[in-house]
């Protein structure tokens, strides 16, 4: 049986973004698992225009080529880990825009977050959980929040995220929960498809 596939989505496109460090860190931890496959997906590779479509992708497929490529990539995955920076108590505009450009590709799949910022990106993550519910996803309870102390330690003091054992522990808890929900929801989606085909 093919292992479930999880996207690690880098949700910032800024030239000097911090996101690459936690993305590499969580990808390294995830790669040690034998129950899931992982792929890093960078929003920089999908230069989405500002969403100005006539309707939600629920009703009308988007027209931009980048949006079609983005949707096709999302459809490959059984679950998502999203790197969520916090700007002004919310997620990045690029990330919210990317969420708006897809719908069915997200449906009935689990999503969790690695947030970072002054309060570990918690406010951005909470807003994204609400968006995920509207996209018919299953946002998970457990996430990783990289707060100000480790953020500054990595940015200014030459430390690594692995120097903060509690973050490594939270990542394992998050991945265990993600694996459970990924298996459960994939089985449910497959059962639903079998019923529809009968």
Domain ranges of the chain: 5-197
Cα–Cα distance measured from residue 20 to residue 12, given in angstroms and rounded to the nearest whole number: 9
Nearest alpha-carbon partner for 185 in 106, 116, 115? 106
What's the confidence (pLDDT) of residue 118? Answer: 83
Q: Does the structure show a pLDDT above 80 at 66?
A: yes
Alpha helices in 10-106 (DSSP H): 20-31, 65-74, 93-100
CB atoms within 10 A of CB 51: 16
Q: Which residues of 163-178 are buried (b: 16+ CB within 10 A; e: fewer)?
A: ebeebeebbeebbebb
Which tens digit of pLDDT belongs to each residue from 121-155?
999 999 999 999 999 999 999 999 999 999 999 99
> Please, are residues 101 and 141 in contact by the beta-carbon 8 Å criterion?
no
Residue 9 near residue 81, CB atoms below 8 Å: yes
Kindly report, residue by residue over 82-93, the tens digit of the pLDDT. 999 999 999 999
- Residue 4: per-residue pLDDT: 97
Q: What pLDDT digit, counting tens, does each position of 16-56 carry? A: 999 999 999 999 999 999 999 999 999 999 999 999 999 99
Phi-psi map region of 89: left, alpha, beta (phi>0 left; psi -120 to 50 alpha): left
Whether the full predicted model's pTM is greater than 0.75, yes or no, is yes
CB 149 within 8 A of CB 117: no
Count of CB atoms situated within 10 Å of the CB of 24: 14
CB 84 within 8 A of CB 116: yes
Q: Strands, DSSP E only, in 105-153? A: 110-116, 138-139, 144-146
CB 145 within 8 A of CB 125: yes
pLDDT in the model for residue 198: 83
3 state DSSP class of 158: coil
CATH number listed for the domain at residues 5-197: 3.40.50.360
pLDDT of 107: 97
């Amino acid at each position: 049986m093919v292992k479930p596939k999880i996207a690690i989505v880098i949700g910032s496109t800024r030239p000097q973004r911090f996101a690459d460090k936690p993305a590499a860190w969580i990808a390294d931890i995830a790669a040690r698992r034998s129950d899931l496959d992982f792929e890093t997906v960078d929003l920089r590779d999908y230069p989405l225009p500002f969403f100005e479509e006539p309707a939600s992708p629920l009703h009308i497929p988007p027209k931009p080529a980048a949006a079609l490529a983005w949707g096709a990539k999302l459809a490959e995955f059984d679950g998502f880990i999203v790197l969520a920076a916090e700007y002004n108590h919310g997620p990045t505009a690029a990330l919210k825009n990317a969420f708006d450009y897809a719908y069915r590709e997200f449906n009935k799949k689990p999503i969790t977050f690695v947030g970072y910022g002054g309060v570990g990106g918690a406010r951005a993550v909470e807003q994204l959980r609400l968006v995920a519910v509207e996209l018919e996803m299953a946002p998970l309870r457990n996430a990783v929040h990289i707060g100000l102390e480790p953020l500054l330690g990595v940015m200014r003091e030459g430390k690594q995220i692995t120097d903060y054992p509690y973050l490594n522990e939270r990542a394992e808890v998050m991945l265990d929960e993600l694996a459970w929900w990924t298996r459960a929801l994939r089985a449910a989606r497959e059962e639903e498809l079998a019923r529809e085909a009968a």
